[in-house]
Amino acid sequence: MAYFENAEEVYKYVGGVFRAARDNEQVGPKMAAADVDLQIYYSDPESKLTIRMHEPNLEVEDGGDDPNADIKLFMPADIADKYWRGEYNLAVGLAKGQVKAKGPVNKILKLVPLTKPLFPMYRDLVSDKDSVTA
Amino acid sequence: MTEVSSSVEQTPATTITATAALLREVGEPLSLEEVQLSEPGEGEVRVRMRGVGICHTDISAAHGVIPIPLPAVLGHEGSGIVEAVGPGVEGLAPGDHVALSFDHCGECPQCAGHHPAYCELFAPLNYFGERLDGTVTMSQGGEDVHGNWFGQSSFATYAIASARNAVKVPDDLPIELLGPLGCGLQTGAGSVLNVLGAKEGESIAVFGLGGVGLGGIMAAKAVGCDPIVAVDLNPERLEIAKELGATHAFNPKDTQDLVWEIMDVAAPGVHHSLDTVGLGPVIRQALEVLRTPGHCASVGFQGLENEITIDQGHLLVGRRLSGVVEGDADPKTFIPELLRLYREGAFPFDRLVKTFPFSEINAAIAASESGEVIKPVVVFD
């Protein structure tokens, strides 16, 4: 059974952690410096996020669909949940084809270490949902 | 009843402190600092390092071309002596001399087919400095230090290495010099022997005469290639290439038409070519000097995105261009083969080496970058 019930939950929690990254004084500027547009397509539930990282801003668009994004990622939303909990190795997922990518993925892998401090924040974000579903 | 997972000696838990050359910021010099090592985990060994080569890939990572999380410890041409083994390790025991190579899963179709350099998990196992489960092998005061680069991070007095990487070598050989067999030399020699399959009497051209290219020259000489054409901008490298077996040497600065001159040596072109540079114009030349059919192996690394332009019409008549990692070698069998050639005097790789004390690791890196030294090897007390 999928962790997120609908797209709105993906936007609340996964979109939420990207917004937390944007607002984090340490992480936000470094991610904004990546100078890429990232488009993520999730399945189960179908949902999508556009993340525009250009100094000095990081913009998060729930439901956004930018066909011209520099990098596109395709993954089940459950993988996004596991990743943000710190329980999923994105490089392994890419190698095994569980996460599919188009574009210069190297630029996204460079951002992975920056996201580690956000894992506790994400776990806090989903703790309300976890307590209901537990 | 208690199950014992390994037939070899297990070492009791101890905290080992190592001195490691930390990369804290991209582009900055490495900083010698104390770190704490984790215990060897499942399938891991702790190695007391005796030597480690400086490789172009380490330098690329230090300049941010490869996205390793920081702080990190680089170094992936290590050699040393096994001091402790983790659970599940077979075939290695404390006291064994080992050369360390690249990590691989050992289970995917490529690994099962003896092509571990193309392991499905090559990138996550080698480039990100942490185990697949996200844990690290080194720490400093509670801070994670990414000490699993190429399953070894051997710019340190001790390494926690994957047992899959660790190739047992005879203890009568100069252990401190054997690390480069695990990457640079393996890449050059493996490309010639495993990928190009060069044979006695066949012609070959090698572009770029660093440790990789000269490893290719030595391998070509060892199997009896003739002519062996060496190409580099550095006159000293051309001289040593000739000493190691090149029959012809060309400096592109001194030639009017390099491709024409090489084809004149081996009309109607060479059977094989090896590009160790990775720049578009060089790869194009390495293709253009081929006869038909002919095979070019390209191993030069210029970043994970490196667009080049080649003439597909030139390829059509049976010419091949292959990208190659680690010489498509299985280190467990290939390093012993290189050592056999070394003992016979046919692979004198030690001629490429200049040693530096660990305290001068940044000077060793600078010597590699400037071209002053072909293969700097940092040695430990």
Question: pLDDT grade, residue A104 (50/70/90)?
Answer: confident
Contact A89 B134 (CB under 8 A): yes
Summarised one tens digit per residue, pLDDT across range B92-129 is 999 999 999 999 999 999 999 999 999 999 999 999 99
Q: Which residue among A86, A94, A104 sits closest to B134, beta carbon to beta carbon?
A: A86
Is the bond leading into A56 cis (omega within 30 degrees of zero)? yes
Closest residue on chain B to A114 (Cα) = B69
Dihedral sign, CA of B234, B235, B241, B245? positive
Report the distance separating Cα A91 and Cα B151, nearest Å: 15
Pick among B60, B107, B110, B121 to test the A interface (most A CBs inside 10 A): B121
Question: pLDDT grade, residue A109 (50/70/90)?
Answer: confident
Question: pLDDT grade, residue B13 (50/70/90)?
Answer: low
Summarised one tens digit per residue, pLDDT across range B18-77 is 999 999 999 999 999 999 999 999 999 999 999 999 999 999 999 988 888 899 999 999
What ipTM does the predicted assembly reach? 0.77
Element (H, E) at B232: none
CB A107 within 8 A of CB B65: no
Summarised one tens digit per residue, pLDDT across range B307-363 is 999 999 999 999 999 999 999 999 999 999 999 999 999 999 999 999 999 999 999
Summarised one tens digit per residue, pLDDT across range A11-50 is 999 999 999 999 998 889 989 998 999 999 999 999 999 9
CB B146 within 8 A of CB B71: yes
Burial B96-125 (b: 16+ CB within 10 A, else e): bbbbbbbbbbeebebbeeebbbbbbbbbbb
Mean pLDDT, rounded, of chain B: 94
SS3 label, residue B172: coil
> How do B204-207 and B228-231 pair as beta strands?
parallel
Query: What beta strand segments (E) does chain B contain?
Result: 16-23, 31-37, 44-53, 72-73, 78-85, 97-100, 138-140, 143-145, 158-162, 166-168, 204-207, 228-231, 248-250, 270-275, 290-298, 319-323, 353-357, 375-379
DSSP structure string for A6-67: SHHHHIIIIIHHHHHHHH-TTHHHHHHTT-EEEEEEEETTTEEEEEEEETTEEEEEET---T
Single pTM value for the model: 0.89
